[in-house]
Amino acid sequence: MFSEHPYTQRLLGGLLAGYVFFLLLTSPITLWTRVLAVTLPGVTFDHAQGNLWQGRAAAVTFPLGQDRASIKDLRWNFQVSGLLRLEARYRIKIAAVSGDALVGIGWNGVNLHDTDLNFAAGQLASILPLLAPWQPGGEITLQSQKFTLPTGTVPAVKDEVIQVTWKNASVNLTQVQPLGDYRLQMSGLDNGDTALRLETLRGALHLDGSGAYSRRQGLVVKGTASANDHHAALLPVLKLIGNAQADGSYAVSLKLPP
């Protein structure tokens, strides 16, 4: 019979798969938030509207270490181009952030594509309330052409880079304003770990550090902090982030489990 022809069967199968895919994309986001509550414990979507194709949430809250972080007024829009790379790719926009990010969810985890975000450092306090007492100031830029977010099961990819720059950085612990400009670069390594490098571009507070994120050992960072000028005024900051050394610098050490 005609309906049993291999070409016809493949066509019907493709049409059926496309129809199911369309139903999934257009199903209410409230249905998917219930699924996420099971698959991603601790992640919540507040006042979510729309569907998987496009929608928005008043806030997306998720665990971050021992604390919880929250991103306000997040919007998403499905990008058909991601299907060519077997990804569910979304263009993400956040109300208080200039620029947008392409986020792909695929077989190899979560990937950032052509990301260029710029926002006031004060927004960090709304994302992570733990930082609110510091009243961070300045401007933060996050850029990446391609970066696979490493997790406990997903390794970093060699030569993929994400860069975060904090210009005119300031906190309310000192009258020295601004502290300076800083750059944090994260790069994928051969072994699946992520290398981290922190450097000072300019400023009164000099920070220098390096480390790595490993799926086995977690995050390990070591570095130094110093202030050749305004040393007395910067002591509250120096004492908070490190331990005093004989040469006047402060040793910085951070270790977080995977």
> Residue 203 is inside which H or E element, if any?
strand 194-203
Cα dihedral value 130, 135, 137, 139, nearest 10? 30
Q: Please report the pLDDT score of residue 1 as a whole number.
A: 45
Residue 27 has pLDDT above 90, yes or no: no
- pLDDT higher for 6 or 126? 126
Q: State both tokens at 64.
A: 């971050």
Statement: residue 4 has pLDDT above 60: no
Evaluate if residue 85 carries a pLDDT over 60.
Answer: yes
d(CA 139, CA 137): 7
The pTM is what? 0.83
Distance CA 24, CA 47 (A): 20
Answer with the residue of higher pLDDT: 201 or 133.
Answer: 201
pLDDT confidence of residue 239? 92
Cα 210-216-220 angle, rounded to 5 deg: 20
The answer to whether residue 40 scores a pLDDT higher than 80 is: no
Number of Cβ within 10 Å of residue 104's Cβ equals: 21
pLDDT of residue 2: 44
Least confident of 58-67, 162-171, 175-184: 58-67
